[in-house]
Amino acid sequence: MWSKTRQVLESRLAEPLKGRVQYHYDVYRTKGCKANPRWFTEMHVLSIVVDGKAWFCSNPKYHGMIILRTREEVIRETGYVGSDWGCDAPLFIHEFLCDLSIGEAIAHDNYFIRLLAVLDARLGKRKVKALMERIEEEPEWFRKWIRLRGESLGMRVGVT
């Protein structure tokens, strides 16, 4: 199921981003404790990798990024919103792929859906230019995605 979803997501990437951006989805299982050895937990982890580095991860601790900051700092810097968020990622992806136009996706309240829209080939140059002009209004972690898309089109922040 995930491999087909990943193929669709990667086929929708803007042409300059193909080969640079990859989507990964993993489920990690951990065994229980001594008191209950049959008990286990699952951690769903969605990562978006740019040029071989994880730029977005639904649970950073599973990718070697130990977070010792407050929850608000982490959300502002990375977009990470919680350990159970990875379980919701497939629902957000399905909504993006099946239910939303590119205009609805880029204006969505959910920043993950907006992130997918920023990378999508259907997002035109004028819309990317508008995002670049309003980049300071966006959370810090989201700005790098807008810059990535803008720079893939030869745009720079503050240049019209």
Q: What is the pLDDT of residues 66-79, one digit of tens each?
A: 333 444 555 555 55
**Under a CB-based contact definition with an 8 Å cutoff, are residues 22 and 49 in contact?**
yes
Q: How is the chain split into domains, by residue range?
A: 2-152
Q: The whole model's pTM is what?
A: 0.78
- Give per-residue pLDDT as tens, 72-102: 555 555 555 554 445 577 888 999 999 999 9
pLDDT in tens, 108-147: 888 889 999 999 999 999 999 999 999 999 888 889 999 9
The residue among 57 and 108 whose pLDDT is bigger is 108
With cut-offs at 50, 70 and 90, classify the pLDDT of residue 10: very high
